[in-house]
Amino acid sequence: MVRVMLVDDEPLARQGMRQLLADHPEVAVVGEAGQVNEALRLIEREKPDALFLDIRMPGQTGFDLLKQLPRPPRVVFVTAYSQHAVEAFEVEAVDYLLKPVLPERLALAIRRLRGGEEPFAAEDRICLRTPERTVVARWEAVPLLKAEGDFTRVWVVDERPLLICQTLGSFERQLPTPPFARLDRSHLVNVGAIVKWESLSRDEGRLYCRGLSGAVAVGRAAQGRLRELLQVRKREV
């Protein structure tokens, strides 16, 4: 059982979340609050496992609330504003839901709260962190990932490539399939982002993807997989 608290200054929003959560017997709502000071008192008393937390509230924000908690519970942000996503992932939020909350997205957030490596949905935003910067992007804006040892080079449209401390296999388990597909030991591609593929020989080819400034060299195994994927895409069109 996951014990959760709802923190939102809009009573109708809290009521809507209660109704959605009623379909999840594995979740118990142990309290709700409409402002930060009230939430602080309830959290101290109830010690919930997680918060469904709004960001913009009168007086203090959801981020202000978390700063005042020595050991904050896990957090799922529930907000009408997408521009706070980077801040949300910087405080290690479990998920970031946009209002109005869809039942299927809430179900995914609950699975993430309960633990385990849940696949990302196509509409999800993902936080990509390096020591220098943090980028939050939709997966549809990620054309290609390439293994570099225990790290992964991730390309994001309109961003410089990011070197992430996460294996390519870990990304493969999380990414939605389709549109993502493993080409070989080193490459994971968003099939919808492929612009062109040139086969120079049996063992050498060039892959062009939306969001990449140049071609990516691919070998025999990747070319065989590309041939299969593009034939399927052609039939679907």
Encode pLDDT of 45-72 as tens digits: 999 999 999 999 999 999 999 999 999 9
pLDDT at 211 over 80: yes
Cβ-defined contacts of 161-168 (< 8 Å, 24+) = 162/128, 162/130, 162/133, 162/135, 163/130, 164/128, 164/129, 164/130
% of the chain at pLDDT higher than 70: 94
pTM tops 0.75, yes or no: no
Ordered DSSP codes for 14-25:
HHHHHHHHTT-T
* DSSP β-ladder status, 27-33 and 74-79: unpaired
Q: Are 200 and 218 in contact (CB under 8 A)?
A: no
Which domains, ranges and CATH numbers included, belong to the chain?
2-113 (3.40.50.2300), 128-236 (2.40.50.1020)
